[in-house]
């Protein structure tokens, strides 16, 4: 038993104290989540992107699931992590994640799943909405408008939003039901599911570092007559996304040494502005 | 045609609402085809508003915010552009040209806001630690309010004072500073990832991080493809260790007691 308490202390921050399955979410709860998901990007920022709005969306449901205040705090803290997903498809992720919260999976397992499911939706959503739905509705609307009819605006608005809200609410309910059905399976295989979620989550984070961190230098080296562009001639040939990777790893090392996020953000802002004035960024 | 302060104010409010709709709400009432007639309605010339809206819809059709790249601001472009088109009688395309500096100005405001909201996330961490749900909500409402106010002024000023007077405001903005913050914004997700990795990274997962990075950086695979490949790797592990499932279950029972 001694080793057991030791283990509990170690994983304390990661595991919920109350391990009983959380309160069932009603149709009204899921609808509320879908409405609130409209504000996904309300506190959008460069550091965590949609994290604040994401937490805003699932907050009432989290409160219902975690009646233990410490558990609610742990859960909220986890959900403040970086997130960038497609604002139209986000309720699909929310539904799955709330089912996992109900089954009281540990925090890192839930966060890994969130990243793994949410991140790929960006590309799918862009193709569905910006490249398909919007051009179709906009084309029909503009055509009618150019012929002087107010029906262009009205038809556009109705067509677009029927699809938009059907998907938003439909996905929310579908994903939640699917997630709840999987609860017994997940509950029985907690450790294996956590391991699998970590594999997918960490792989996607590796990909996100290469995709989302944009850092390149405008430095040039004058070697006699030849001008060597440091970014395109050297770094890009050595390794694509080299600077983003290095910068992320530096940030990671500093976070582990106890630097606060605010300090790192200020450091990054000063670097960006100084780099622009000095002409190397 | 003269614009009264009340009309300018209403158009500013319209920009406030449409500005929020661009990122939040997403009903797409901020598209030119809808905004054009609304501007026309405020200015008392619905018919011209409809036509200008239709023209501008086609202009912005190809300019969707793909993969986080922001096109010229559609809302200020439409509201200010349509206003000039209706009041001065110039063609819609020319009127948009007049509106472009203000579309750029609102973009600067957004860059500033996204930068300023980054340190706010640490405040949210503190709220989360205390399970303070109200605090989280207020930060979100605050972000909405600031964004909307930016839009209000970027529409109200040029419409009420005329483009040439309001243009002086835009030129007074420190361009290098804003651009620098934009550059910093591009780097900033690195901080977010570092914090994520602090929670999730364990030594045994380093190989997967490398695989994900290689797949995105060198192979240029879409995130969906990478996630699917990662899922396959996870499933291989998941099925291979099936024989240990029984012991895992027993352990859990022990934990429960």
Is the pLDDT confidence value at B164 over 80? Answer: no
pLDDT band at A11 (very low <50, low <70, confident <90, very high): low
**Above 50 in pLDDT, residue B141?**
yes
Same domain, A262 and A180: no
Do A92 and A71 belong together in one domain? yes
Are A189 and A227 in the same domain? no
- For the cut 70, the answer to whether the pLDDT of residue B139 exceeds it is yes
**A271 and A179 co-located in one domain:** no
Residues A182 and A245 in one domain: no
State whether A97 and A174 are in the same domain: yes
Q: For residue B252, is pLDDT > 50? A: no
CB-closest option in A116, A195, A252 to B197: A252
Q: How far is A138 from chain B (nearest CA, A)?
A: 7
Residue with tokens 């559609």: B74
Would A151 be classed as within a structural domain? no
Q: Give residue B242's pLDDT.
A: 57
Q: Which of B144, B195, B237 sits opposite A196 (nearest CB)?
A: B237
Assigned domain for A106 exists: yes
The three-class DSSP label of residue B118 is helix
Same domain, A241 and A116: no
Percent of chain B predicted with pLDDT > 90: 57
Tell me, yes or no, whether A181 and A271 share the same domain.
no
Considering only residues 12 to 51 of chain A, which have any Cβ-Cβ distance to chain B shorter than 8 Å? 19, 38-49, 51
Selected residue of B60, B212, B235, B256 to mutate for chain A interface (largest A Cβ count, 10 A) = B212
Q: Which of B191, B194, B143, B113 is nearest to A262 (CA)?
A: B191
**CB burial string A10-28: b at 16+ within 10 A, e below:** eeeebbbeeeeebeebeee
B-proximal residues of A, 211-250, CB under 8 Å: 211-215, 239-241, 244-245, 247-248
Nearest CB to B143 within list A43, A192, A277: A43
- If one counts the domains in chain A, the total is 2
* Of A69-83, A166-180, B152-166, B180-194, the least confident: B152-166
ipTM: 0.88
Chain A residues touching B120 at Cβ < 8 A: 43, 45, 52
Q: What's the number of CA atoms in the CB half-sphere (13 Å) around residue A119?
A: 32
**Residue pLDDT, tens place only, B194-212:** 998 988 889 999 999 999 9
Mean pLDDT of the region A129-142: 89
% of chain B residues with pLDDT over 70: 89
Domain enclosing residue A193, as ranges = 9-123+161-208
Determine the 3-state secondary structure of B249 from DSSP.
Answer: helix
Q: Are residues A171 and A234 in the same domain?
A: no
The verdict on residue A152 lying in a domain is no
The residue written with tokens 């996607």 in the block is A204
In this complex, which of A43, A126, A274 lies closest to B140 when CB atoms are compared? A43
Torsion of CA A119, A122, A124, A125, to 10 degrees: 130
The helix/strand/coil state of A221 is strand
A77 touches chain B (CB under 8 A): yes
pLDDT of residue B250: 47
**Interchain contact, A244 vs B190, CB within 8 Å:** yes
With an 8 Å Cβ cutoff, are B144 and A42 in contact?
Answer: yes
Q: What are phi and psi of A240, to 5 degrees?
A: -65, 150
Cβ–Cβ gap A255/B121 under 8 Å: no
pLDDT digits (tens, 9 = 90+) for B98-131: 887 888 888 888 988 999 999 999 999 999 999 9
Is B223's CB within 8 Å of A142's CB? no
- Sorted by where each begins, the domain ranges of chain B are 5-188, 201-256
Supply A102's token pair.
């109900």
Q: What element of type H or E holds A220?
A: strand A220-223
Q: Which two tokens stand for residue A81?
A: 């992590």
What's the CA gap between A275 and A263, in Å, rounded?
18
Contact A108 B200 (CB under 8 A): yes
Alpha-carbon distance A159 to B257, whole Å? 56
Contact residues, chain B, for A156 at CB < 8 Å: 28, 31, 33-34
Predicted confidence at residue A1, as pLDDT, reads 40
Per the domain annotation, does A142 fall within a domain?
no
Q: How confident is the model at residue A9 (pLDDT cuts 50, 70, 90)?
A: very low
Chain A stretch 99-128, residues whose beta carbon is closer than 8 A to a beta carbon of chain B: 107-108, 111-112, 115-116, 119-120, 122-124, 126
Q: Provide the pLDDT for residue B9.
A: 96
- For A31, other C-beta atoms within 10 Å of its C-beta total 13
Give the residue from A262, A158, A81, A53 showing the smallest Cα distance to B147.
A53
Tens of pLDDT, residue by residue over B219-239, are 999 999 999 999 999 999 888
A226 and A107 in a single domain? The answer is no
Residues A117 and A226 in one domain: no
Tell me the pLDDT of chain B averaged across its residues.
86
Burial class for B253, CB neighbours closer than 10 Å (0-12, 13-18, 19+): exposed
Residue B1: the pLDDT is 65
Alpha carbons within 13 A on the beta-carbon side of B5 = 0
In a domain, A237, yes or no: yes
Residue A242 lies in a domain: yes
For residue A219, give Cα distances in angstroms to A275, A279, B122: 10, 8, 33
Report d(CA B112, CA B117) in Å as an integer: 9
Residue B180 and residue A276: Cβ atoms within 8 Å? yes
Write the DSSP symbol of residue A229: E
Residue B249 has pLDDT above 50, yes or no: no
Percent of chain A whose pLDDT exceeds 90: 75
- pLDDT tens digits along B64-93: 555 445 567 899 989 999 998 898 888 887
Distance between CA atoms of residues A219 and A68, nearest Å: 54
pLDDT digit string, tens, across residues A21-74: 999 999 999 999 999 999 999 999 999 999 999 999 999 999 999 999 999 999
Q: Which residues contact A100 (CB under 8 A, 6 or more apart)?
A: A109, A110, A113, A179, A186
Mean pLDDT over each residue of chain A, to the nearest integer: 91
Residue whose pair of structure tokens reads 């994903």 in the numeric block: A175
What pLDDT does B255 receive?
46
- Give Cβ neighbours of residue B14 (< 8 Å, ≥ 6 apart): B35, B38, B39, B42, B79, B155
Whether residues A113 and A252 fall in one domain: no
Q: How far are the Cα atoms of A88, A117, A180, B46, B135 from residue A163, in angstroms, in the given order?
A: 10, 22, 25, 28, 33
Is the model's pLDDT at A217 over the cut of 60? yes
Please tell me the distance from the alpha carbon of residue B13 to that of residue B28, in angstroms, as a whole number: 16
């Amino acid at each position: 038993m001694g080793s057991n308490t030791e283990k509990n202390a170690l994983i304390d921050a990661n595991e919920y104290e109350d391990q009983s399955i959380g309160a069932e979410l009603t149709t009204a709860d899921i609808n509320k989540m879908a409405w609130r998901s409209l504000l996904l990007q309300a506190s959008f920022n460069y550091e965590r992107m949609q994290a604040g709005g994401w937490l805003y969306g699932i907050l009432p449901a989290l409160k219902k699931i975690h009646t233990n205040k410490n558990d609610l705090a742990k859960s909220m803290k986890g959900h403040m992590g970086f997130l960038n997903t497609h604002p139209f498809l986000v309720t699909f992720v929310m539904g799955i994640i709330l089912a996992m919260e109900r089954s009281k999976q540990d925090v890192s397992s839930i966060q890994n799943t969130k990243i793994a499911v949410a991140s790929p939706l960006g590309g799918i959503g862009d193709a569905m909405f910006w490249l398909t739905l919007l051009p179709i509705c906009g084309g029909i609307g503009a055509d009618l408008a150019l012929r002087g009819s107010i029906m262009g605006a009205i038809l556009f608005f109705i067509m677009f939003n029927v699809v938009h809200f059907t998907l938003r609410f439909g996905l929310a309910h579908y994903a939640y039901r699917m997630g709840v059905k999987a609860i017994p399976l997940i509950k029985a295989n907690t450790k294996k599911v956590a391991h699998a979620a970590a594999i997918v989550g960490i792989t996607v984070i590796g990909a996100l570092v290469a995709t989302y961190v944009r850092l390149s230098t405008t430095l040039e080296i004058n070697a006699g007559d030849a001008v060597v562009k440091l970014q395109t001639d050297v770094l890009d040939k050595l390794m694509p996304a080299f600077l983003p990777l290095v910068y992320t790893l530096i940030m990671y090392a500093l976070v582990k040494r106890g630097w606060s996020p605010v300090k790192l953000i200020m450091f990054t802002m000063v670097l960006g502005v100084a780099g622009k004035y000095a002409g190397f960024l | 045609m003269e614009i009264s302060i009340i009309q300018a104010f209403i158009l500013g409010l319209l920009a406030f609402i449409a500005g929020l709709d661009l990122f939040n709400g997403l009903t797409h009432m901020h598209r030119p085809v809808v905004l054009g007639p609304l501007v026309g309605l405020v200015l008392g010339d619905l018919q011209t508003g409809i036509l200008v809206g239709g023209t501008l819809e086609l202009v912005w059709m190809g300019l969707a915010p793909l993969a986080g790249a922001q096109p010229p601001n559609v809302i200020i472009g439409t509201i200010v552009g349509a206003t000039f088109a209706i009041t001065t009688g110039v063609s819609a395309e020319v009127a948009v040209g007049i509106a472009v500096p203000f579309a750029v100005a609102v973009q600067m405001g957004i860059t500033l806001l996204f930068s300023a909201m980054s340190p706010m996330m640490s405040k949210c961490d503190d709220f989360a630690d205390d399970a303070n749900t109200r605090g989280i909500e207020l930060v979100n409402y605050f972000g909405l309010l600031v964004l909307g106010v930016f839009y209000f002024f970027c529409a109200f000023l040029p419409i009420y004072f005329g483009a040439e007077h309001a243009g002086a405001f835009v030129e007074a903005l420190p361009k290098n500073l804003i651009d620098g913050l934009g550059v910093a914004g591009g780097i900033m997700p690195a901080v977010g990832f570092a914090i994520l990795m602090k929670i999730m990274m364990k030594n045994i997962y380093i190989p997967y991080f490398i695989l994900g990075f290689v797949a995105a950086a060198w192979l240029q695979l879409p995130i969906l493809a990478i996630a699917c490949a990662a899922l396959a790797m996870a499933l291989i592990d998941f099925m291979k260790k099936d024989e240990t499932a029984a012991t895992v279950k027993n352990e859990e029972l022990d934990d429960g007691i």
